[in-house]
């Protein structure tokens, strides 16, 4: 896989990312493209790069980037630790605009992959930008309030709501963004949070560091404004899913996922109109998310088949 670094802007914020090219890409070609998007606290060099390593094998040009508020991407006027899912939708839509003008990309054949909360973000982005011909929502949710309440339980959920209201009042009366650990208001984080920092980051940093990002030197994940927690609760794509058609929707989910309950995948698939596909991984949230894991490879192959059918890229000589 070949790579080149990119910079684009999302509502004034500088966004840092990567274009990923198949090894057999030749100058002058325009191929179908996939933008791979991370989940909450995710980074381009983790899951977007991982999906790109798989999808470029099937001939696709890919792109990944870091949302605003996550280094090395920036924010405006000191708001480098402030984001919401609505802002991430803006980031993805601006990424689509940038991507379709890249010389390697056929602008008529563009798809999205969204991991974790990025799945719901990508559904919203696909609804907004008709450039997108197919979208995959993986281990995500359809109704943020339901997902959060089910994952936390009623007592913790309603306590969180009271705290978020207090934090919101502080933000609007003092200008303080109110920074907290990003997993403080997140359901069942024990399933994936420790795994992510202790295994995934350790692997990509050569086994040297686990919860410290090698590029920035900061502890990972860094504190973020609790504005993101409010957006989790209000974010809902149930009304949008039926409106994606006739463009295609792929719903992928860990069958035993406890971080994002399976009902979210079932509802997303039920609400989407044809063409659509539901794919279950025989696992939880991310313990199988490694390049050499057969479960991840099987998911990537299913995605490649799905995009092959709905992006109609056969003229580009993609693998069967």
The partner residues of 34 in beta bridges, in order of sequence, read 62, 111
Lowest mean pLDDT among 148-157, 220-229, 249-258, 295-304: 220-229
Please state, for a pLDDT cut of 70, what percent of the chain lies above it.
84
Please, which residues have CB within 8 angstroms of residue 175's CB and are 6 or more apart in sequence? none
Range 104-120 average pLDDT: 97
Q: What share of the chain is helix, strand, coil (3-state, %, to 5)?
A: 40, 20, 40
Q: How many CA atoms lie within 13 A of 197 on its CB side?
A: 17
**What global pTM score does this model have?**
0.90
Range 194-199 average pLDDT: 58
Task: List pLDDT tens digits, range 258-293.
Answer: 899 999 999 999 999 999 999 999 999 989 999 999
Among the listed residues 297, 317, 265, 283, the one whose alpha carbon sits nearest the alpha carbon of residue 136 = 265
Q: What is the dihedral of CA 112, 118, 122, 128, to 10 degrees?
A: -150
Under the banding of pLDDT at 50, 70 and 90, the label for residue 185 is confident
Under the banding of pLDDT at 50, 70 and 90, the label for residue 9 is very high
Among the listed residues 170, 164, 167, 171, the one whose alpha carbon sits nearest the alpha carbon of residue 185 = 164
Under the banding of pLDDT at 50, 70 and 90, the label for residue 150 is very high
Distance CA 47, CA 52 (A): 8
Mean of all residue pLDDT scores within the chain: 88
Range 204-229 average pLDDT: 63
Task: List pLDDT tens digits, range 14-48.
Answer: 999 999 999 999 999 999 999 999 998 778 988 99
Output the pLDDT for position 275.
97
Q: How many angstroms separate the Cα of 56 from the Cα of each of 19, 215, 249, 294?
A: 11, 25, 20, 17
Q: Is the peptide bond before 246 cis (omega within 30 degrees of 0)?
A: yes
Output the pLDDT for position 43.
86
The partner residues of 111 in beta bridges, in order of sequence, read 34, 134
Task: List pLDDT tens digits, range 56-66.
Answer: 999 999 999 99
Quote the strand ranges of the chain, DSSP E: 2-10, 13-21, 31-37, 61-65, 105-115, 132-138, 179-180, 224-225, 248-254, 276-281
Whether residue 96 contacts residue 113, with contact meaning beta carbons closer than 8 Å, is answered with: no
Whether the predicted pLDDT of 77 surpasses 70: no
DSSP per position, 268-286: HHHHSPSSEEEEEESS-SS
Task: List pLDDT tens digits, range 131-145.
Answer: 999 999 999 999 999
DSSP state of 110: E
């Amino acid at each position: 896989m070949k790579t080149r670094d990119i910079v684009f802007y999302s509502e004034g914020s500088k966004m840092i990312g990567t274009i990923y090219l198949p090894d057999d890409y030749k100058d002058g070609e325009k191929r179908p493209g996939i933008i791979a998007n991370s989940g909450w606290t995710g980074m381009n060099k983790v899951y977007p790069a991982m999906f790109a390593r798989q999808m470029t094998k099937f001939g696709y040009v890919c792109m990944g980037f870091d949302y605003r508020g996550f280094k090395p991407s920036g924010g405006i006027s000191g708001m480098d630790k402030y984001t919401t899912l609505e802002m991430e939708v803006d980031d993805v839509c601006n990424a689509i605009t940038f991507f379709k003008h890249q010389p390697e990309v056929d602008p008529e054949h563009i798809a999205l992959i969204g991991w974790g909360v990025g799945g719901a973000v990508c559904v919203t982005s696909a609804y907004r930008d008709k450039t997108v011909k197919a979208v995959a929502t993986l281990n995500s949710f359809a109704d943020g309030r339901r997902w959060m309440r089910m994952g936390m339980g009623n007592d913790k959920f309603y306590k969180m709501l009271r705290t978020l209201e207090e934090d919101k009042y502080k933000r609007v009366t003092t200008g303080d963004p109110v920074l907290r650990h990003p997993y403080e208001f997140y359901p069942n984080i024990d399933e994936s949070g420790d795994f992510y920092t202790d295994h995934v980051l350790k692997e990509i940093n050569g086994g040297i560091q686990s919860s410290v990002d090698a590029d920035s030197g900061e502890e990972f994940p860094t504190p973020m404004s609790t504005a993101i927690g409010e957006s989790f609760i209000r974010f809902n794509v149930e009304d949008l899913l039926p409106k994606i058609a006739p463009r295609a929707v792929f719903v992928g989910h860990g069958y035993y996922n406890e971080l994002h309950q399976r009902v979210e995948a079932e509802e997303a698939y039920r609400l989407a109109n044809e063409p659509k596909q539901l794919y279950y991984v025989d696992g939880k949230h991310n313990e199988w998310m490694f390049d050499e894991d057969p479960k991840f490879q099987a998911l990537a192959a299913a995605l490649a088949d799905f995009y092959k059918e709905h992006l109609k890229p056969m003229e580009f000589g993609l693998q069967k």
